[in-house]
């Protein structure tokens, strides 16, 4: 018989099952390279399927399933700067025969192409003064209530003089561009290179293609005065928290971030309040950076009000200076 002192904490001597402390994925699987590789493949396949589903629900053949090219963005996967065998600098300089490792395969060339991508985006979108970017799932079809809500929201914004910017794909993105056309505003799509062809929806009238996510995200922020976040996945969440971080750190201001769909976002907001806020990871005011609504008119009014408040300060000063310059005054 064991003495009490032999039993930790004076507890029962009956053996109990120990909970494994090994790291696991959020889905409950043991974390190892094979699981991670499998998850990455499944994630990419899932993205492809959701994108195709969005096109199919809209009555179109997905570009990734068709041999011909759809109108809009063309898939261009750049293999020229990938998978280069390591060589010494002397070998690069003195190489005379065989396939050459040219400058277009190097990081300095990538920097130039990144710069070129910024220039193309700035040049194409320079005239946009009042843009609103609409984010959301690519798999939502025209029969989904959020699709109709996105169309109506974009239409009301367009009639109020705002250009509409999306990621150019199907689903909520398509709904936003459709609403822009219905409202008579500029309908902009910022497409991203993917391992499969995403294609641009037919309601985009200004299309810009990007290879780099961070360049594309810069365009969303630079030419928008507000974000509307409809239900979506990781990409949508990425844009949501990107905007909130920029506001929190003072990089942008008076920039409404509107979560559309109270029921969809309720769980995330409860977690932010119950866990993140309660542990002091964010401040109470951070939660007020987001407006939650189910009403297109309410979303539009919030954006219009925020834009007018900018106009009374920096925006008004900018317009005044622009008028003086046009009149040849200093």
Domain presence at residue 288: yes
The pLDDT value given to residue 72: 45
- 261 sits in the region (left: phi over 0; alpha: psi -120 to 50; else beta) called left
C-alpha closest to that of 152 among 185, 182, 128:
182
Answer whether residue 38 is part of any domain.
no
The overall pTM is greater than 0.75: no
pLDDT tens digits, one per residue of 269-296:
999 999 999 998 888 888 889 999 999 9
Q: How many helices (H) and strands (E) does the chain have?
A: 10, 7
Does residue 81 lie within any of the structural domains? no
The model's pLDDT over 222-260, given as tens digits with 9 standing for 90+, comes to 999 999 999 999 999 999 999 999 998 888 888 999 999
192 domain residue, yes or no? yes
- Containing structural domain, residue 132: 116-322
Nearest to 206 by CA among 238, 244, 165: 165
Task: Write out pLDDT tens, residues 185-232.
Answer: 999 999 998 877 778 999 999 999 999 999 999 999 999 999 999 999
With a cut of 60, say whether residue 316 has pLDDT above it.
no
Condensed to tens digits (0 to 9), the pLDDT of residues 78-123 reads: 555 555 555 655 555 556 555 555 677 778 888 898 999 999 999 9
Please tell me the total count of domains within the chain. Answer: 1
Confidence (pLDDT) at 6: 47
The percentage of the chain sitting over the pLDDT mark of 90, rounded to a whole number, equals 50
Identify the pLDDT of residue 148.
97
Contact 218, 193 (CB under 8 A): no
Average pLDDT in the 61-67 region?
A: 76
Is residue 162 one of the residues assigned to a domain? Answer: yes
- Report yes or no on 169 lying in a domain: yes
CATH for 306: 3.40.50.450
Predicted confidence band of residue 34 (pLDDT cuts 50, 70, 90): confident
The H-or-E segment that residue 201 falls in is none
Q: Is residue 122 part of a domain?
A: yes
Q: Residue 7 belongs to what H/E stretch?
A: none
The pLDDT assigned to 36 comes to: 58
Rounded to whole angstroms, how far apart are CA atoms 201 and 216?
17
Any domain includes 260? yes
């Amino acid at each position: 018989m064991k003495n009490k002192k032999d039993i930790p904490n004076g507890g029962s001597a009956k053996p109990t099952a120990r909970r494994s402390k090994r790291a696991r994925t959020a889905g409950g699987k043991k974390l190892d390279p094979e699981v991670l590789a499998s998850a990455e493949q499944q994630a990419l396949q899932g993205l492809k399927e959701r994108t195709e589903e969005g096109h199919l629900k809209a009555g179109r053949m997905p570009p990734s399933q068709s041999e011909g090219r759809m109108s809009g963005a063309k898939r261009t996967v750049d293999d020229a700067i990938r998978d280069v065998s390591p060589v010494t600098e002397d070998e690069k300089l003195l190489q005379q025969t065989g396939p050459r490792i040219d400058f277009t395969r190097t990081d300095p060339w990538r920097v130039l192409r990144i710069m070129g991508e910024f220039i193309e985006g700035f040049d194409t979108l320079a005239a946009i003064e009042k843009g609103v970017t609409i984010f959301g799932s690519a798999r939502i079809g025209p029969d989904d209530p959020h699709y109709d809500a996105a169309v109506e929201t974009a239409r009301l914004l367009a009639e109020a003089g705002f250009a509409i910017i999306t990621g150019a794909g199907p689903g909520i993105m398509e709904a936003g561009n459709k609403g822009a056309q219905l409202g008579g505003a500029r309908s902009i799509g910022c497409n991203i290179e993917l391992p499969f062809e995403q294609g641009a929806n037919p309601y985009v009238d200004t299309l810009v293609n990007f290879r780099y996510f961070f360049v594309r995200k810069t365009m969303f922020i630079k030419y928008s005065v507000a974000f509307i976040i409809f239900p979506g996945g990781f990409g949508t969440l990425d844009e949501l928290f990107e905007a909130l971080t920029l506001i929190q750190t003072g990089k942008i201001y008076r920039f409404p971030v509107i979560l559309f769909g109270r029921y969809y976002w309720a769980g995330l907001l409860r977690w932010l309040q119950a866990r993140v806020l309660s542990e002091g990871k964010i401040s109470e005011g951070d939660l007020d950076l987001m407006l939650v609504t189910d009403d297109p008119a309410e979303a539009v009014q919030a954006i219009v009000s925020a834009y007018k408040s900018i106009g009374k300060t920096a925006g008004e000063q900018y317009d005044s200076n622009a008028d003086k310059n046009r009149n040849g005054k200093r």
